Amino acid sequence: MHPNKSEGKNGGANIFSYRLGCIETTYPTCNILCKRMEYKTYIPAKQLSGLIRFYWSLEGVLPPDGTYIHRTLANHCPELIFHYGGTFREIRTNNSICSTFKTGIHGQTDTIRRFTSKNSCGIFGVMLQPYAVPILFGVSGKAIKNELVDLPLLLGQNGVDISERILQAKDNLSRKRILDKYLQTLLRIERKESPIIHTVHQITRAKGNVNIKNISQQACLSQRQYERRFKELTGFSPKSFSRLVRFKSLVDNYPKRDCSLSEIAYDFGYYDQSHFIQEFKQYSGYNPKAYFDGRAMEVFYSPKQ
């Protein structure tokens, strides 16, 4: 739902504002000029740092007849999402519109989704580690992969209660404090998964460019055992997970806009330019040249012309 940005200090927020241009898509009513969208990140409590990468918020206002379209890209990390301002609905591939949750989990995904909102936007999110949902909520990564899971439906009355507290909070710092306390009550790290978690971090640090066989041996498991437990925890096979990490590392961290696609492919470990283009389009819906040239208008954190 958002970019990966460095967090602020002492629990504060970094602010990144983006001016959105006219959104050019096939959706019939979305060529509207959006006003400012403000994105912030917040550091979680120290006790949660192994399970939460960061909190984030996104706020914006549209003209009275405006429509905002947002495309979510493939992401190896699940997110908790709370829509406290405005309502997002999903645009399906046939351009039909369907309702989505007010509060829920956007599971780790290798697919693209598109959402629309009118009038205003207020979202508070929790970028979780790839393995956090099984540890916090007792639900396997496989179960939430590519799913939008309603939080009250998943957690029952606990989901209803935390949703109400977050939606009614006076501001985003209050939301952060509420979630810090709530999520700490859910901590139940299982020691048997620690070798898998260690290899998840290895893959992330290597930006997806790893030898899966070597990593499974480091976990002191057969490759079959390793891949089964890895998939239960993260939702993906180690190979698929590594591809997603590489894609996200490219989108989040690549600083250059004047280099060739061949240079990008080489820098991030793709076999060749053709392989890079194919995978980038699969995970984003955009040709990489269009994306880095500033033409990915449905992704507010993409490079802009």
- Return d(Cα 251, Cα 245) in angstroms, integer: 10
Closest of 13, 28, 39 to residue 69, by C-alpha: 28
- On whether the CB atoms of residues 14 and 41 are closer than 8 A, the answer is yes
Q: Can you give the pLDDT at residue 1?
A: 57
Mind listing the pLDDT tens digit of every residue in the chain (305 residues)?
Answer: 555 444 444 444 443 333 332 222 233 333 344 456 788 999 999 999 999 999 999 998 877 777 788 899 999 999 999 999 988 899 998 889 999 999 999 999 999 999 998 878 899 999 999 999 999 999 999 999 999 999 999 999 999 999 999 999 999 999 999 999 999 999 865 545 688 999 999 999 999 999 988 888 888 888 899 999 999 999 999 999 999 999 999 998 776 656 788 888 888 888 889 999 999 999 999 999 899 888 888 887 787 66
Amino acid at 249: S
Q: Which two tokens stand for residue 254?
A: 């690549």
H helix or E strand, kind and range, residue 56: strand 52-61
Q: Which two tokens stand for residue 45?
A: 């409590």
- The CATH code for residues 13-184 is 2.60.120.10
How does strand 113-118 pair with strand 89-91?
antiparallel
Give the start-to-end residue ranges of the domains of the chain: 13-184, 190-253, 262-305
Q: Which two tokens stand for residue 189?
A: 């790290």
Q: Can you give the pLDDT at residue 22?
A: 27
Residues constituting the chain: 305
- Return d(Cα 305, Cα 38) in angstroms, integer: 19
- Return d(Cα 32, Cα 194) in angstroms, integer: 48
Region class of 99: left (phi > 0), else alpha (psi between -120 and 50), else beta: beta
